[in-house]
C-alpha cells in the first residue's frame, strides 16, 4: 500500500487519528512452557509488532478495524458478556480489565495494523493486548505502570479469551529493551535486562507457515498436566509450582507421578528451567557455543517430553542444527507450528536461509519465511502521529 496508516484511518473513519501506539512481538530465546510453571524465561522484544491508531467518539461504542483481516466490528459494553469469537476479543478483554478498575474504556474508533506474521508464535495476540492497554492508559490518563498493564493483558487472555497463558508474552512486549533480552522470574516478576553480546552472531527466526489448529486447547491441556504433576508432588513436599524444584529434587520425588505422560510434562518444565539458568550464565560469560547447545537440548525436550513440536518444527530445528555456522536452534512459542529461533554466524546467514529453506520445502512441502531479528524496545506511544508508516 502507498498510503500511510494515518491516511487509512482518515479513509475509514472520515477524520484524523488522535494517537498512535505500538507494542512489539517477542521471541523467546530459551525457556518454553515454564512461565506458567513459575520459572525463568529469556525473551526479547522484536522490532515488529502491532500499531494502533485511535480517536475518541461521541458515543459509548467502539469500532474495531484491522488492516490484517477483513472482519471489522462496532461493539458496545454488551460485548463483555457475549464474548465474540472474532479477533477483537483480544482488545475487548483488555478493555474489560480497565472497566474492572473503574475506568470507562468505551467510545473510540480504532485501527490496528500488525507487521508481524499472525499465528507464528511471536505473540501477535499479546502485542494486540499490550497496544490496547498502552492506548487506554494514555487516553484515560490512568497512570498505570507497565508491569501492571502486562498483568492486566495477561488476565484478559486468561479470563476473557480463554487461553491460560503465563506472563512472559505480555511482559516482554511491555518491558522490552533494545539489544537486550529479559531474564524474567515468572513467579515473582523480578527481572534483569541482559545485553545480547552476540558479536558476529545473528538471531534468525524461521516461520513454518503451518496453519496451527487446536493450539489453544493443547496449550491449556499441557498447563493442566503440569498443575496435576505439582499437586501430586506437593503430597510429599510443599510446592506451588514445578520450577521450584531442581532436576535432582524432581528425580527424587518423581515416583509420586505414576502417569508416564504427566511425568514427561513435569520433567520438561523442571529441566527447561535449569537450562534457562545455565543459558543466562553462558551468555553473560560470552559462551555462545554453550548457549547454542542448550537451545538444542531445549528443542529435544519439547519434542520428546512436552510433545509440542511436529514435523514442521522438528525439520526446521533439526536441519538447522546440522548446518555450518549454526550454534543452536529450537522451536519458540507455544508450538504445534509457528517458528524456530536459531543462533547463526552472521556471515553464514545467507547460505543458512537458502539451504534450510530448500530442505524444509523438499521434506514438508511448505515454504518457510525467515527473519533476522532486530531486538527493540517495549510498548509505547509514538508521539508523531502523522509520521509516515507504510502499511
Residues 6+ apart with CB under 8 A from 9: 16, 17, 53, 55, 109, 111
Partners of 205 in the β-ladder: 341, 371
Dist. CA 390–CA 387, nearest whole Å: 10
Instruction: Give the max Cα distance, the chain.
Output: 66
- Verify whether residue 169 is a known catalytic residue: yes
Could you identify the residue written with the cell 484491522?
66
Dist. CA 30–CA 334, nearest whole Å: 12
Cα 162–35–197 angle (5° rounding)?
130
In a 3-state reduction of DSSP, which class is residue 92?
helix
Could you identify the residue written with the cell 494514555?
138
Choose, from 169, 185, 287, 347, the residue flagged as catalytic. Answer: 169
Report the first-to-last Cα separation within the chain, whole angstroms.
Answer: 6
Burial 161-179 (b: 16+ CB within 10 A, else e): bebbbbbbbbbbbbbbbee
- DSSP letter at 210 equals P
Whether 175 contacts 191, CB under 8 Å: yes
Please list the active-site residues.
169
Amino acid at each position: 500500500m502507498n498510503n500511510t496508516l494515518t491516511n487509512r484511518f482518515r479513509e475509514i473513519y472520515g477524520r484524523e487519528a488522535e494517537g498512535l501506539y505500538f507494542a512489539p512481538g517477542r521471541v523467546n530465546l530459551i525457556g518454553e512452557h515454564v512461565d506458567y510453571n513459575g520459572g525463568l524465561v529469556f525473551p526479547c522484544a522484536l522490532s515488529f509488532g502491532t500499531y494502533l491508531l485511535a480517536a475518541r467518539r461521541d458515543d459509548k461504542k467502539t469500532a474495531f478495524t484491522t488492516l490484517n483481516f477483513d472482519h471489522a466490528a462496532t461493539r458496545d459494553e454488551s460485548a463483555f458478556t457475549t464474548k465474540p469469537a472474532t479477533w477483537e476479543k483480544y482488545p475487548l478483554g483488555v478493555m474489560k480489565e480497565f472497566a474492572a478498575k473503574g475506568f470507562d474504556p468505551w467510545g473510540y474508533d480504532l485501527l490496528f495494523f500488525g507487521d508481524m506474521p499472525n499465528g507464528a508464535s511471536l505473540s501477535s495476540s499479546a502485542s494486540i493486548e499490550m497496544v490496547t492497554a498502552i492506548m487506554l492508559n494514555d487516553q484515560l490518563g490512568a497512570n498505570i505502570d507497565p508491569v501492571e498493564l502486562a498483568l492486566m493483558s495477561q488476565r484478559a487472555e486468561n479470563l476473557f479469551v480463554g487461553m491460560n497463558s503465563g506472563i512472559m508474552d505480555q511482559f516482554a512486549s511491555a518491558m522490552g529493551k533494545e539489544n537486550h533480552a529479559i531474564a524474567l522470574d515468572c513467579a515473582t516478576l523480578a527481572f534483569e535486562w541482559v545485553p545480547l553480546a552476540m558479536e558476529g552472531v545473528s538471531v534468525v527466526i524461521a516461520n513454518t507457515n503451518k496453519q496451527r489448529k487446536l493450539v489453544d486447547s493443547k496449550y491449556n491441556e499441557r498447563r493442566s498436566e503440569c498443575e496435576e504433576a505439582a499437586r501430586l508432588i506437593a503430597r510429599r513436599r510443599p510446592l506451588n509450582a514445578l520450577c521450584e524444584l531442581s532436576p535432582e529434587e524432581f528425580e527424587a520425588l518423581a515416583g509420586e507421578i505414576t502417569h508416564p505422560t504427566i511425568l514427561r510434562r513435569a520433567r520438561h518444565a523442571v529441566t527447561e528451567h535449569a537450562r534457562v539458568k545455565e543459558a543466562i550464565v553462558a551468555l553473560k560469560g560470552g559462551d555462545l557455543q554453550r548457549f547454542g547447545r542448550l537451545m538444542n537440548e531445549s528443542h529435544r525436550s519439547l519434542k520428546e517430553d512436552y510433545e509440542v513440536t511436529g514435523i514442521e518444527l522438528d525439520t526446521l530445528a533439526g536441519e538447522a542444527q546440522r548446518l555450518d555456522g549454526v550454534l543452536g536452534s529450537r522451536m519458540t512459542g507455544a508450538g504445534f507450528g509457528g517458528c524456530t529461533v536459531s543462533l547463526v554466524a552472521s556471515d553464514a546467514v545467507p547460505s543458512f536461509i537458502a539451504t534450510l529453506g530448500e530442505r524444509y520445502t523438499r521434506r514438508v512441502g511448505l515454504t518457510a519465511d525467515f527473519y533476522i531479528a532486530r531486538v527493540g524496545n517495549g510498548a509505547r506511544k509514538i508521539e508523531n502521529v502523522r509520521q509516515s508508516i507504510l502499511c
